[in-house]
Amino acid sequence: MIDLIGLIVAIPLVVAGVNMLAGSRLASGPSSRRSRWNGWFATGAMTLAFVIAAGALLELLSLPAEERTRIVTVAEWIRAGAASVSLDLRVDPLSITMAMVVTGVGSLIHLYAIGYMEHDERPWRFFGYTNLFCAFMLVLVLANDFLLLYLGWEGVGLCSYLLIGYWSDRPDAARAAKKAFITTRIGDVLLMLGLFVMWVHFGSFEFDTVLGHEGVLPEVAAGTATAIALLLLGGAVGKSAQLPLHVWLPDAMAGPTPVSALIHAATMVTAGVYLVVRSHALFEVSEVALTVVAVVGLAGALYGGLASIGQYDMKRSLAYSTMSQLGFMFLAAGLGFYPVAISLLVAHACYKALLFLTSGNVMHGLHDEIDVRRLGGLRRDMPWTAALFAAGALSLSGLPPFSGFFTKDAILDLASHDGRTWAYVLGTIGALISAWYIARLFFTAFLGTQRYEGHAHEATPLMRAPLVALAIGGLFIGLWLAFTPEGRLATFLEPTLGPLEEGTAGPSTPVLIAISVVATLIGIAVAWSLYRPRNAERWISFPEREPGMAGVLGHAFYVDGMYAWVVGNVGLRGARALAWFDGAVIDGAVNGVGRLALGAARLAPIWQSGKVRRYALSFLAGGAALLLYAAVRV
């Protein structure tokens, strides 16, 4: 199966092409039937990719741990002089874990989207884009060198743009798509610069050359490593919506909900975490960069959590929650707990996709209503959805024995044992906030009295089935991945990421577990006291009573507004000054040359008077001058 790994990129790519080029013609009948046809086709491709990935995983597991890195050459890609880049796919524990997430969660989301997109006019476009996205994402995670990784990186960015703006007739979707593309572009440029520095220093993009292998660190000065690592981190920050390039993620929720679940929760936004974890050797050579990763992650975790509390739009709240969870992943990576970052990534992909898709159920059942102030009491009309959302919320909140506990709280536990008290304390506050915002969403949307009009119809069984699978995964995958004391996933990832070292500092593990459970319970209790059904009037009128506080949280500390001010004032003025300089100085110089020639040309015809006698005089004067010259010279 490992030798067939190229197929898991090729199948979604080909099916995407077929769907986009011929999807409208391949099926006949009413639009809903056509939509099913396109959707099943795309889902089938993803499922096939999942089966191949699972086969490759099983084959990898049957090998001894040292031989679990296989490189499959597809073709030579670029040859320029002595330099050559080949199209290699790398199958190792890390990449196959990522491929399993992409294909597994991807298949379930595609299955869900068949029902969700049934009323869409042109579903072949949607499924074509999502399959194309999956193909690029698989290129990203399976690449054996940074150049191919970058190809996938830009490809998923493109698909993200296309899918956020999928409903291109809505101005907010079109704006959000542009915003997402431009903001992540800033990070992409930094990543590209990082690749340039890498090429200058190593003369290669291959992981084995750049990152060293079998525990040997790459031979590179700490300064160079810091430069490359920080530039790579810049790319990761843009893609994973961390401070300060996070502003695109909440707006990206203008896309269809399956897109939010697939791209902006489960897969693409985690590419940044993958990049940092994959190139951890460079970050380790430069201690500074690793600390920066941890600080950025911690700041994002707290910021995203606080901003999430202030949102009334369920999907925006979940988007900030995603940012916060990604922050925890960066924190784990920055502290050196790479396997834990990856296990949080896997668990988060399941439960956050689940949370997004349940909010998609709400939108599907209530004509796109998503504001919790106008929801409430949904558990009566949508018992399945309410139960599934509760499962997602439990997984995220970090109560044992669910996934959040074994992944997010494992980070805090390790941080404390490692003697990083600052990370532990702030991280625990972040965990408390996580429990708070997710419980808030559940209490406000699903409990209490009904604040919407009419009847919300429950999702169809076809849409519920993938959610049940995601709920089971979301609840228990953390437990499964961490079953043995060292962590099953951690052992599996050891050949790629090195051993997970556990310190002995600080309080013992049972104490830490007790603290984290209490913190989670406090978060839920705070949410209950503020948002329980009896308090509906109070929290709905909160912005009127406390406009300052509600504004700060609701607008996520006005970062967006600050950017708008900076770009709109300083940036615009700078641009105008440059435009003036361009017009007056640069164009002026070019036009000046032209004017000079024109002026000279206007002077010349003075001699061309048309008066014969003047010509005769010139002639005579010339002759006389010549004679005079001859006379003087002799």
Name which of 593 and 604 has its Cβ closer to other proteins. 604
Identified binder of other proteins from the candidate list 593, 604, 630, 632, rule CB under 8 A:
604
Euclidean distance between CA atoms 393 and 351, whole angstroms: 8
599 binding other proteins? (CB under 8 A): no
Euclidean distance between CA atoms 295 and 285, whole angstroms: 18
Q: Taking a C-beta distance cutoff of 8 angstroms, is the pair 136, 152 a contact? A: yes
Euclidean distance between CA atoms 164 and 141, whole angstroms: 22
610 binding other proteins? (CB under 8 A): yes
Candidate ranges 93-101, 277-285, 455-463, 609-617; the one touching other proteins (CB under 8 A): 609-617
630 binding other proteins? (CB under 8 A): no
609 binding other proteins? (CB under 8 A): yes
In the complex, least distance from residue 604 CB atom to other proteins, rounded to whole angstroms: 7
Nearest Cα residue to 266 out of 135, 94, 134, 410 = 134
Identified binder of other proteins from the candidate list 567, 620, 625, 626, rule CB under 8 A:
620
Candidate ranges 61-69, 95-103, 226-234, 603-611; the one touching other proteins (CB under 8 A): 603-611
Binding mask 102-121 for other proteins (x = CB under 8 A): --------------------
CA trace torsion 217, 223, 227, 233 (10° rounding) = 50
Q: What element of type H or E holds 602? A: helix 587-603
Euclidean distance between CA atoms 456 and 365, whole angstroms: 5
608 binding other proteins? (CB under 8 A): yes
Euclidean distance between CA atoms 460 and 45, whole angstroms: 23
Nearest Cα residue to 236 out of 284, 292, 302 = 292
Q: What element of type H or E holds 44? A: helix 31-62
Euclidean distance between CA atoms 570 and 567, whole angstroms: 6
What residues are paired with 75 via a beta bridge? Answer: 87
611 binding other proteins? (CB under 8 A): yes
628 binding other proteins? (CB under 8 A): no
534 binding other proteins? (CB under 8 A): no
62 binding other proteins? (CB under 8 A): no
Give residue 594's Cα distance to chain centre: 51
In the complex, least distance from residue 591 CB atom to other proteins, rounded to whole angstroms: 25
Nearest Cα residue to 397 out of 330, 325, 447 = 325
598 binding other proteins? (CB under 8 A): no
Candidate ranges 33-41, 534-542, 560-568, 602-610; the one touching other proteins (CB under 8 A): 602-610
In the complex, least distance from residue 610 CB atom to other proteins, rounded to whole angstroms: 3
81 binding other proteins? (CB under 8 A): no
**CA-CA distances (angstroms) from residue 275 to 104, 143, 398, 491, 517?**
20, 11, 26, 20, 31
Identified binder of other proteins from the candidate list 28, 29, 215, 607, rule CB under 8 A:
607
Name which of 549 and 627 has its Cβ closer to other proteins. 627
CA trace torsion 107, 319, 291, 143 (10° rounding) = 30
For residue 548, give the amino acid letter.
G
Candidate ranges 200-208, 318-326, 536-544, 605-613; the one touching other proteins (CB under 8 A): 605-613
CA torsion sign for 125, 128, 134, 137 is negative
200 binding other proteins? (CB under 8 A): no
- Binders of other proteins: how many residues, by CB under 8 A? 13
600 binding other proteins? (CB under 8 A): no
616 binding other proteins? (CB under 8 A): yes
Region of residue 172 (phi > 0: left; psi between -120 and 50: alpha; otherwise: beta): alpha
Name which of 79 and 614 has its Cβ closer to other proteins. 614
Name which of 82 and 601 has its Cβ closer to other proteins. 601
For other proteins, the binding residues (CB under 8 A) are 604-613, 616-617, 620
